[in-house]
Each structure stands twice: as C-alpha cells, then as structure tokens.
Amino acid sequence: RRTDAAAAPSAHRLSSSAPAPASLRASAYGRRQRSSAMVARAMAAEIIDGKAIAQAVRDEVRDKVTAMRAKTGKAPGLAVVLVGERKDSQTYVRSKKKACEEAGIESFGTDLPEDATEEEVLAVVAAYNADPNVHGILVQLPMPKHINEERVLGAIDYEKDVDGFHPLNIGRLSQRGREPLFVPCTPRGCIELLERTGIPIAGKEAVVVGRSNVVGTPAALLLQRRDATVTIVHSRTPNPEEICRRADIVIAACGQMEMVKGSWLKPGCAVIDVGINAKDDPSKKRGYRLVGDVEYDSAAEVAGHITPVPGGVGPMTIAILLQNTLEGAERAFGP
C-alpha cells in the first residue's frame, strides 16, 4: 500500500518542513486572488433600481390621469396639510407638489403655523374631507408635540386616507378576505420593488427588521398577504442574526444605521433597505453621506438583489402616493 508521499513523483516531492519555492508560492497566491475575485463577482448582488421603477409607476399614473381627464373632464386631487416650519417637512411637501404637477394631479395645500391648535388642524382636515375635488389627504408628520397625531390621522376620511394609516385601512390590511382602500406608501413601495424585479414572494421566508406602524408592521402584513412566511425582528429579539440568516427576503426598517451586516444574510437573498441615515464622511462636501439600515458593501457580496441608499426605496414612496391618489379618484368617479 503506497502512501500519498510515495505516490507522488520524487521530482516534485517537498519536505513538510521546507518552504515552498517562491515561484510556487506566487502561483498559489495568484490562484487564491483570482478565486476570491471570481467568488466576489459571482456573489455581487443585482441592484434594484428604485429610481427607474418609481419612474415607471409615475409614468403609468400620468397616462391614467390623462385618460381620466379626457373621459370625465376631472382629475385626481391631493391635499397636503403642513403644521409648523420644519425644513425637512417643507422640502417633502414641495417634492410632493412637484410630483403631482408632473403627473397631472391637482394639488391642494394648507400651511399652518407652529402654534396652531389641534382644533384648527381638525377643521382643515374636515374641510378637505367634504371637498369633492380632493381624493387624497396627507397630513405631514411629525406635527408639533402639542397636537395629538392619532386624533388628527383618525379624523381623515378613510376613503381619502392616501397614507393608509387610518385604523379601518390598517384593520382591513391585517385580515384575510378584507381589502384596504389604501396601503401605506413605503411598505407598498417595497412590495412593488420585489414584484417588478421578478422576485418571488409566495412560499418564501421573509424577515422584517423593525415593527413601526409606518413601515415594519404594514410591510410584514403585505408579505403575509402574498403567502410569505414572515418573522419580525425587533429591539427585544435575542438572536436577530440567526433569524435573518434564514430569510429569502429581508426588509430592513429599524432606523439603526448599518445594523444588518452581510454576515446576517442568506446567500442569494433579496434585501430591501428602507433606512436613511447620515454617516460622517469628511471626503464629502456636506461632511456626511447617506446610508441605510443595511451595511451595503458587505451585504452586496452575499445578497442576490439589493436596494441602494439613496435611490432604492425612497423614490417609491412618492410614486405610490400618486398611485394611491389616482385610485381614490377612480373609486370616486366610478367606472
């Protein structure tokens, strides 16, 4: 019986204690480098282009609004209520008005001062509820602390609740055999990204990181309605990495900068990153750059599909808002 050493040709037999010749070491190093590069290329995730998909949704909305105007002489109307003078909220409101204009949707707006009373805000909401030209009402959040947001949002007619936060819409979303009139924009945008990219949901294991009323909980409900097996990871979950590693789909919406690492992910999974955080970066003119709740570089080496930040989920939110407003008008005008 020959040993491995005996079986090897004597000319190429090397002592276990002697170092390999430099040429062989260099050759082996080169092979390892090429192998690592090939693995990295093989595992590099496909980027889900949120800008392109959002533009497709906006184009579809614009075409349907044009057809609606031609048929009925009417257009969808969106009313936005802003309380206070937060710069970020003002920026969001301007972007929504611009998006409405581009889609052919009529834009209405009321700006109230920081010290506006809750009753004044409720009066504005009531007026828009009664206005037949308004098919969607959005109250920009957050509002000043002295105003009860839950009371204001609950006062919006659920048939005009384009944010999808009214208890009746959320309640219907949570029940089988019930259909909400509106679904919250960002979670619906996440599902659109998956479906328009051709990523299967039914029968897959999905993990939502975060349980907020705005994104996490509705996203989990939407995945469940599409027959995924859904787990929610939250601040009290003891083993988030282990749970995420089982998932075919991960939606990260926890508000924690780069919390989800590549080591948390199942190879080939789809990653939807809802987060947007400012990370210090002296190389940037602003001194920071935007990152998500997922550590993008490490995740992109493992995932099959991934959304970038910015340019992923963000553009979808306004696109779905326009779509929700259109659907509200279609119900109001009838077939």
Cα of 256 vs its chain's centroid, Å: 14
Contact 135, 325 (CB under 8 A): yes
Active-site hit among 163, 248, 273, 293? 163
- CA-derived radius of gyration, the chain: 26
Query: Which listed residue (96, 160, 204, 266) is catalytic?
Result: 96
Q: Which of 334, 332, 320, 329 is nearest to 64 (CA)?
A: 329
Per DSSP, what are the bridge partners of residue 260?
294
Residue 212 DSSP class: -
Rounded to the nearest 10°, the torsion over CA 208, 213, 215, 219 is: 50
Neighbour tally for 224: CB within 10 Å:
17
175 is catalytic: no
Does residue 64 carry a catalytic annotation? Answer: no
* Listed residue (154, 132, 105) closest to 325, CA to CA: 105
Distance CA 224, CA 184 (A): 15
Other CB atoms closer than 10 Å to residue 308's CB: what's the count? 21
Catalytic residue flag (residue 96): yes
SS3 294: strand
Residue 115: which residues within 8 A CB-CB, separation 6 or more?
Answer: 144
Residues β-bridged to residue 270: 249, 305
For residue 300, report the phi and psi dihedrals to the nearest 5 degrees: -65, -20
Interatomic CA distance for residues 294 and 255, integer angstroms: 10
Question: Is 182 in a helix, a strand, or coil?
Answer: coil
Choose, from 49, 64, 140, 293, the residue flagged as catalytic: 140
Q: Catalytic residue positions?
A: 96, 140, 163
